[in-house]
Amino acid sequence: MIDRLTEILGPGHVLTGAEAEPYGWDWNHEHFEAPLAVVRPGTTEEVSAVMKLAHETGTPVIPLGGRTGLAGGGQGEGALVVSLERMNRIREIRPGARSAVVEAGVVIARLHEAVEEQGMIFPLTFGARGSAMIGGALATNAGGSNVLRYGNTRDLVLGIEAVLADGTVVDLMQDLHKNNSGYDLRHLLIGSEGTLAVITGAVLRLRPQPRAYATAMVGMAALPPALDLLNRLQEATGGAVEAFEYMPASYVDDYARLRPGTRAPFEARHEVNILLEIGALSPRDCVAGEDGVLPVAAYLEEVLGRMLEDGEIDDAVIAASEAQRREMWALREAASEVASMRPDQIIMDVAVPVDRVAEFLSRADEMLEGLAPGSATSVVAHLGDGNIHYTIFPTLPKSEKDRVVEAIEDIVADLRGAFSAEHGVGTHKLNTMARRKDPGALAAMRAIKAALDPKGILNPGKLLPEASGAVAK
């Protein structure tokens, strides 16, 4: 097998032993599964040749991007890891069409820099953007902090290129906003976590770069008034609110311990801390007046001032410089590092209706205190789209952790929410998938998997629980 792979790719791009070891670790370096080998194809044709060989030999294959996943979807003992890191070309940027044609190994931050030079943005952004790759983002339908305005990854993809389990290349790299010609395979492959195909390229939507930002931190005693603030700003700006992020006081405290010496967002401690950002496009909102203040910032100050006077919020700070804006964002984007300060995590990535976020948090905290008294949490939320990252550090022994997970699932189900919002299922949520996903939906997914990957070689053991109904341990 190794000899044949070397013939396809050359000796420098087939890694084994110590060279392959880094690819067997998960993001937080807690779990390791040794791959058979790691191959690094440089073209779609090479990916196709690798998949033909894997299909012929029945070898399990794990497509891999930047290794920033949080759901255990990128490892497999004895599997062939197909790293897309060499397929890192930005093939074309099309300013007129506001699109970019890229390969799967392009790092998201690099694409940000490239399109910014053209006065545009690729709006997908999150803390790991400096190492996460486009292919991984598509495979997991990644979210991030700008979903409120621009949507998930799925909403930013016009075309896709992928290689199926038997090596067949599916070329759907069309720069089209309308294409009603049969099943939408593009959307089927996005979010499939490498279980249906190896994504090798994409045509991505770009957006005009905002000419000015108004960014603020808002402190308040309770969460419900935050939704009123969001709705006011959305109505007044025509939906220009790009981010609306929630951090409780305990998160801010943890951040101060993580990075001693950093400035707190407020002099006083507030139970609820909201980071909000408006991206302005219109010249009337972006040209500073005689006082040097941008109109969009002046409006934000006016709204926040009225809410302060009415007692709806307790404090507010508007970023007066780009440095202060980055400082505010650094607080929010350290979420993974903050959560990793404690061992034995239960990472819950859930979504509920936006007007029920406060209810979820209240019920989850109450449940946790009753089931595992003394447990700590690390919580942040994309409040504008209802996505809550509720990380638990339970006092229960490992053998009883699933009791906490099931209790959270009960709350999410009662609120008509989703047990996975943006991290995916991988292996970490197979139990939940077996318990909570509609049986009819699971049957349809298994039928699709069997049709596209009859030998079951693509990322086996991920996303879909066993058909027998047995829950993975």
CA angle 209/213/219 to nearest 5° reads 145
Is residue 74 located within the same domain as residue 94? Answer: no
Is residue 12 located within the same domain as residue 32? Answer: yes
**Predicted confidence (pLDDT) at residue 469 exceeds the cutoff of 70:** no
pLDDT computed for residue 28 by the predictor: 76
Binned at pLDDT 50, 70 and 90, residue 470 comes out as very low
Both tokens of 278, joined, read 């408006």
Specify the amino acid at residue 311: G
Instruction: Check which CATH number belongs to the domain holding 68 and give it.
Output: 3.30.43.10
Residue that is last in its domain, among 288, 308, 335:
335
pLDDT in tens, 233-261: 998 888 999 999 999 999 999 999 999 99
Question: What integer is the mean pLDDT of 140-169?
Answer: 96
Is residue 411 located within the same domain as residue 369? Answer: yes
Binned at pLDDT 50, 70 and 90, residue 471 comes out as very low
pLDDT computed for residue 468 by the predictor: 67
Query: Looking at the domain assignment, is residue 305 inside a domain?
Result: yes
Q: What is the 3-state secondary structure (H, E, C) of the chain?
A: CHHHHHHHHCHHHEECHHHCHHHHECCCCCCECCCCEEECCCCHHHHHHHHHHHHHHCCCEEEECCCCCCCCCCCCCCCEEEECCCCCCEEEEECCCCEEEEECCCEHHHHHHHHHCCCEECCCCCCCCCCCEHHHHHHHCCCCCCHHHHCCHHHHEEEEEEECCCCCEEEECCCCCCCCCCCCHHHHHCCCCCCCCEEEEEEEECEECCCEEEEEEEEECCCHHHHHHHHHHHHHHCCCEEEEEEEEHHHHHHHHHHCCCCCCCCCCCCCEEEEEEEEECCHHHHCCCCCCCCHHHHHHHHHHHHHHHCCCCCEEEECCCHHHHHHHHHHHHCHHHHHCCCCCCEEEEEECCHHHHHHHHHHHHHHHHHHCCCCEEEEEEECCCCEEEEEEECCCCHHHHHHHHHHHHHHHHHCCCECECCCCCCCCCHHHHHHHCCHHHHHHHHHHHHHHCCCCCECCCCCCCCCCCCCCC
Question: What's the domain range around 151?
Answer: 90-208
What percentage of the chain has pLDDT greater than the value 90? 86
Is residue 314 located within the same domain as residue 230? Answer: yes
pLDDT in tens, 421-465: 999 999 999 999 999 999 999 999 999 999 999 999 999 999 999
Query: Looking at the domain assignment, is residue 302 inside a domain?
Result: yes
pLDDT computed for residue 237 by the predictor: 86
Reported pTM: 0.92
In total, how many domains does the chain have? 4
Query: Looking at the domain assignment, is residue 348 inside a domain?
Result: yes
Residue that is last in its domain, among 384, 405, 423:
423
CB 180 within 8 A of CB 116: no
pLDDT computed for residue 90 by the predictor: 98
Both tokens of 85, joined, read 């890191």
Nearest CA to 279 out of 228, 333, 325 is that of 325
Nearest CA to 245 out of 133, 334, 305 is that of 334
Query: Looking at the domain assignment, is residue 285 inside a domain?
Result: yes
**Predicted confidence (pLDDT) at residue 136 exceeds the cutoff of 50:** yes
Nearest CA to 265 out of 330, 337, 336 is that of 330
Instruction: Check which CATH number belongs to the domain holding 302 and give it.
Output: 3.30.70.2190
Residues 6+ apart with CB under 8 A from 294: 212, 214, 280, 285, 286, 287, 288
CB 218 within 8 A of CB 271: no
Radius of gyration for the alpha carbons in the chain, expressed in angstroms and rounded = 23
CA angle 68/70/76 to nearest 5° reads 85
Query: Looking at the domain assignment, is residue 354 inside a domain?
Result: yes
Q: Which residue has the tokens 């972006």?
A: 286
What percentage of the chain has pLDDT greater than the value 70? 99
Is residue 185 located within the same domain as residue 154? Answer: yes
Instruction: Check which CATH number belongs to the domain holding 385 and give it.
Output: 3.30.70.2740
pLDDT computed for residue 473 by the predictor: 36
Is residue 69 located within the same domain as residue 141? Answer: no
Average pLDDT score, the chain: 94
Is residue 329 located within the same domain as residue 224? Answer: yes
Is residue 183 located within the same domain as residue 243? Answer: no
**Predicted confidence (pLDDT) at residue 472 exceeds the cutoff of 50:** no
Is residue 363 located within the same domain as residue 302? Answer: no
d(CA 359, CA 224): 9
CB 288 within 8 A of CB 224: no
Instruction: Check which CATH number belongs to the domain holding 164 and give it.
Output: 3.30.465.10
Both tokens of 407, joined, read 């209790």
Is residue 181 located within the same domain as residue 104? Answer: yes
Query: Looking at the domain assignment, is residue 318 inside a domain?
Result: yes
CA angle 205/209/210 to nearest 5° reads 130
Task: Identify which has the larger pLDDT, 31 or 113.
Answer: 113
Query: Looking at the domain assignment, is residue 191 inside a domain?
Result: yes
Is residue 191 located within the same domain as residue 114? Answer: yes
**Predicted confidence (pLDDT) at residue 345 exceeds the cutoff of 80:** yes
Query: Looking at the domain assignment, is residue 250 inside a domain?
Result: yes
Specify the amino acid at residue 59: T
pLDDT in tens, 36-71: 999 999 999 999 999 999 999 999 999 999 999 989
Residue that is last in its domain, among 208, 231, 265:
208
Is residue 79 located within the same domain as residue 104? Answer: no
